[in-house]
Amino acid sequence: MAELKEKLRADLSAAMKQRDTAVTGVLRMALAAVGKEEVSGKQQRELSDEEVLKVLGKEAKKRDEAAEAFRAAGRDEQADSEAAEAEVLRRYLPQQLSDDELSALVAEAIAEVEAELGERPGMKQMGQVMKVANAKAAGRAEGGKVAGLVKSQLQG
């Protein structure tokens, strides 16, 4: 079993003992999302830590988007609740890369693809560069942000 999933279960148990209803609810939801992912598809399977991180990242992103929507609608109490849930989920996610670190990572990915091709990659090779960059980022950066940086560095 994935270590991260075990940690979520242990933390859920601890939160229940402390009667921390907010954290208990978030961890139950996270474990339910992981369980749903495990049974989706043709065959039930055990998720790896990396796959559990992806699920937690999606759930945190959903909470951020919901908080934004609630704020725009003037419902600050619900927005604060969603933001708090996202913060609980972020405790389990790796530290996000800074803009400088991400820019350096994208430059490395371009250099690797350049070494493979023997020439500087252009926009046609953006997919190849994205594949390398996303593998290097490994959940520490949002895909859209990586894509934007790759595109700007390939054009510039």
Q: How far apart are the C-alpha atoms of 97 and 91, rounded to whole Å?
A: 15
Q: How far apart are the C-alpha atoms of 55 and 12, rounded to whole Å?
A: 17
Q: CA dist 95 to 17, 31, 119, 121, 122, Å?
A: 28, 21, 33, 29, 30
Handedness of CA 43, 48, 52, 54 (dihedral sign): negative
- Looking at every residue in the chain, the average pLDDT score rounds to 88
pLDDT of residue 82: 94
pLDDT of residue 121: 82
pLDDT of residue 1: 57
Share of the chain above pLDDT 70, in %: 99
Greater pLDDT, 84 or 4? 84
Q: What is the pLDDT of residues 72-126, one digit of tens each?
A: 999 999 999 999 999 999 999 888 888 888 888 888 888 888 888 888 887 888 8
Which residue segments constitute the domains of the chain, with CATH numbers given?
A: 3-91 (1.10.1510.10), 99-155 (1.10.10)
pLDDT of residue 120: 83
